Amino acid sequence: MARDLTIAVCQTGPIQKSAQRSETVDRLVALLERAAAAGAEIAVFPELALTTFFPRWRIDDQAEIEAFFEPAMPGPQTQRLYDTAARLKIGFALGYAELTRVDGGRFNTMDLVGQDGKLVGRYRKIHVPGSSEPEPGTTVHLERRYFEPGNLGFPVFVYRGVRVGMAICNDRRWPETYRMLCLNGAEIVLIGYNTPLLLDEAPALAHLRMFHNHLPMQAGAYQNTVWVAAAAKAGVEDGQALIGGSCIIAPTGEIAAQAISLDDEVIVHRADLDLIAVCRKVNFDFARYRRPDQYRLIADQV
Ligand code: CDT
């Protein structure tokens, strides 16, 4: 029997610092409703989809920092999104800043929520980029000030019978992300990102920002025979331009659907999961051809 899953990517436009959480959740609910109306069975939202991308600032005030974090998911402000998922029977993956209840850990996290509005699984960003203090000549990007590196590995969860993994922004540039997820059996990788259009440290690469967005995701999809669905937070957010280019990529490496705006936008594609086996047979039959005994350095050397 043919297997498929209809995926929606819910790109958002900028979420300014001045936006109330309730306004932002309104936007996410509207996107989820549009995704469901278009026949999607699962949706992916951006990284840190509930707030502005606050690591662009050095903040010292702990109360101000904590206001960007979610101590519980769902919480009073986000419950409506989960209720919408259950009502419309569409699950979603949502990026947010997680404050752990027990020990106050802080992670850049993405949760996968099921068609019943209940948590299916959690991923915490492994490749946390930037620094903990501003560095001269470099775009301020202080994720390492606010987030610990993820400690949950690269888990894969069963969603409506489909094996789904997640990755967050900078993770998408690393081949290890896709290989780990796919060795764990992923058939679909859901990604959220916030990517500045311009980097002070590399003006010569400015024209390549979108190419370098799609290149690793297309390569990751192709080399691991997996579907990739990636949602950007796009547009000018608190004075910083973020790239869009949200997309759905087939295991062939082809872009099957792509956003055309820098605003709230939904793109949808029916992912043919049988294509994975076809692509795997052509070039990437892991069980038959991979040579892990020859790859030791990949795991042993940074
Ligand atoms: N959010 C995130 O991971 N952004 C990074 C830019 C880092 S610039 C220091 C990215 O890879 O898009």
193-243 pLDDT, tens digit each: 999 999 999 999 999 999 999 999 999 999 999 999 999 999 999 999 999
Domains of the chain, CATH where assigned = 4-300 (3.60.110.10)
pLDDT recorded at residue 81: 98
Nearest residue (by CA) to ligand 1, atom 7, is: 129
46-82 pLDDT, tens digit each: 999 999 999 999 999 999 999 999 999 999 999 999 9
pLDDT recorded at residue 300: 96
| C-alpha span between 218 and 212 (Å, rounded) | 10
* Other Cβ atoms within 10 Å of 292 Cβ, number: 10
Percent of the chain as helix, strand, coil, to the nearest 5: 30, 25, 40
Model confidence band, residue 295 (pLDDT cutoffs 50, 70, 90): very high
For tokens 């840190």, the residue is 48
pLDDT recorded at residue 15: 98
21-48 pLDDT, tens digit each: 999 999 999 999 999 999 999 999 999 9
3-state secondary structure 192-251: EECCECCCCCCHHHHHHHHHHHHHHHHHHHHHHCCEEEEEEECEEECCEEECCCCEEECC
Provide the 8-state DSSP code for 50.
Answer: T
First-to-last alpha carbon distance for the chain, in angstroms, is 43
pLDDT recorded at residue 170: 98
**CB-count burial class (<10 Å; 0-12, 13-18, 19+) for 133:** exposed
81-131 pLDDT, tens digit each: 999 999 999 999 999 999 999 899 999 999 999 999 999 999 999 999 999
Q: Is the CB of 129 under 6 A from ligand 1?
A: yes
Closest atom of ligand 1 to 125 CA is 3
The torsion angles phi and psi of 255, rounded to 5 degrees, stand at: -80, 115
239-289 pLDDT, tens digit each: 999 999 999 999 999 999 999 999 999 999 999 999 999 999 999 999 999
Q: Is the CB of 130 under 6 A from ligand 1?
A: yes
pLDDT recorded at residue 20: 97
Output the CA angle 183-185-189, nearest 5 degrees.
100
Is the omega angle on the peptide bond into residue 74 within 30 degrees of 0, that is, cis?
Answer: yes
pLDDT recorded at residue 135: 97
pLDDT recorded at residue 136: 96
Task: Please indicate, yes or no, whether the overall pTM of this predicted structure exceeds 0.95.
Answer: yes
| C-alpha span between 273 and 158 (Å, rounded) | 14
pLDDT recorded at residue 71: 97
Asked whether the beta carbons of 300 and 30 are under 8 A apart, the reply is: no
Active-site residues: which are they?
A: 47, 125, 169
Closest atom of ligand 1 to 199 CA is 8
Q: For a ligand 1 pocket test, name from 194, 201, 237 the mutation site with the most ligand atoms within 8 angstroms of its C-beta.
A: 194
Q: Is the CB of 39 under 6 A from ligand 1?
A: no
Burial pattern 59-97, b for ≥16 Cβ within 10 A else e, equals eeeeeebeebbbeebbeeebebbbebbeebebbbbbbbb
pLDDT recorded at residue 107: 98
pLDDT recorded at residue 222: 98
